[in-house]
Structure formats: C-alpha cells, structure tokens
Amino acid sequence: MKKAVIFFNVLVFGNLSGAKAQFNKGTLMLGTTIGSTAYSSANSDYDYVNGEVRNTGTKTYSFSIGPQLGIFVARNVVVGTSVAFSTTTTNTNTTITNASSTTGTKSSTTNYTIGLGPFVRYYFANAFAKNLFYLQVNGNVASGSGSSSGSGFTTTNTDQTSGSVTGIFNWNAGGSIGLEHFFDKHVGMDVSLGYLYSYARSGNKNTTVTTTDASETVTTSTSNYNLTTGTNGITFAVGFHWFLWQEPGNGH
C-alpha cells in the first residue's frame, strides 16, 4: 500500500512539474495552423431621389495555413512569429433598378499571398490540466498576386471580364480566444475564435468583352486601376503545437 501511495505521488507531482516546466521561461513552442478561415459580408442599398435603386453585396472568404515558432518569455506568455500561406476570394454583386430598366454586374477576385508576422499568446494555466484557455493577439504582412473575372448586363449589352492582380500588399491585425487540448505534456491541439481587421492594396488590369444583343457586335476594352480595401471579419482557426523544454534531471 505504501509503495502504491509513493507511485501515485510521483505520477501526480511529476505531471505537475512537467506542466509547470511547460509554461516556464525558455520553453519552445513549435506548431502549425492547419486551417484558419475568415468570412465577412457587407450589403449597401442606395435609394436615389429620381427613383433609382442600387444594391451592392460583397462577401469575402479567406483561408490560410502555415508554421509557427514561439518562445515563452515569462511564465504562461509566448512571443513568436508565424508564416502564412493564404488565399482570399471576394465576390461582389451589384444591381441597379430604375423605372425603365434593370442592370447588374458580378465580379470575383482570388488572391494568393505569403506573409510573415508576430504573435503573443497568454495561457491561463496555474496547474496541470488537459484543457487550457488562452488569449492571443497577432499581425501579418503579406504580398502576392491573383486573378479576377466578372460579368454584367444592361438592356442592350452583355459583358465578360477577365483580369490580373499584381503588386499585392496586405496587412492584418486581430485577437482571439482559444482552447488548447493536450494529448500529453508536449503535444496540444487548439481551436480559436477571434476578430481580424485586414487592409489590402493591389494593382488591377481587366479586359472586358462586350456583346451588343441586337447586332451581336463584339468590342474589347481594358482598364487599369489601383484598389484599396479595409475589411472587418471573424476568424476560426485550428492548429497543433509541440512544447519543448529541459526535463528535470537532464540539465546541468
């Protein structure tokens, strides 16, 4: 019986010691975000005094994946950096209705970027637990390229548009609250929900092919413009992390 009690104490206090070492200064946190997705939606309605009504709806989806490296600079506090490989798709629909006609346009843009940014994470950990909550703030700066497409119609014409997106410069900043589940002292999986503000700037070149309905005449035109967009949205992320520290008795 005495041996069983001693074994139980070693097991429990060994786990506590490991958990404390896990969140002490100097512990490395290696990981990857296997899925971070964000969604935002905006609708605008314009009612003009001449009776014209314009409706614009914009939906933005993004997905990113990438490795993370952090180090505990104090107990429960991690400072690190992450690399993000991201794709973002924005769909915009516009309809204009007046007394004599209805016209509309649809456009879709997909961008691919690679970014780098810092993060700070705080774990609410006072003792060993399989599930721990944390708060995190993070930012990212990215660049890349993309493509666009679209269509439109009036009472007399139909349009088809294709284009390229170059010189992308993005940055974002946000915060989240998460829960990490530990499979053992060294390996955890986390899920989080948060808020993200994103700023994007890019150069765009589009080619539009217009077909006149009555005569089937086809004309081609090009347009070049710079686009700047600010987006507020929510994020959901899933990731895995490995915690590496000096085990008691293995150091000098």
| Cut 0.75: pTM above it | no
What is the predicted pLDDT for the residue at 14? 39
Q: Comparing C-alpha atoms, which of 142, 151, 147 is closest to residue 113?
A: 142
What is the predicted pLDDT for the residue at 213? 83
Extract the runs of DSSP E, i.e. beta strands, from the chain.
28-47, 53-74, 77-97, 102-123, 131-153, 157-182, 187-212, 218-244
What is the predicted pLDDT for the residue at 117? 95
190: its two tokens: 């986390």
Give me the CATH topology for the region 2-244. Lipocalin (2.40.128)
Query: Domain coordinates of the chain in residue numbers?
Result: 2-244
Q: Which segments of the chain have a pLDDT < 70?
A: 1-21, 35-42, 44, 127-128, 246-252
Per this entry, what is the length of the chain?
252
What is the predicted pLDDT for the residue at 17? 43
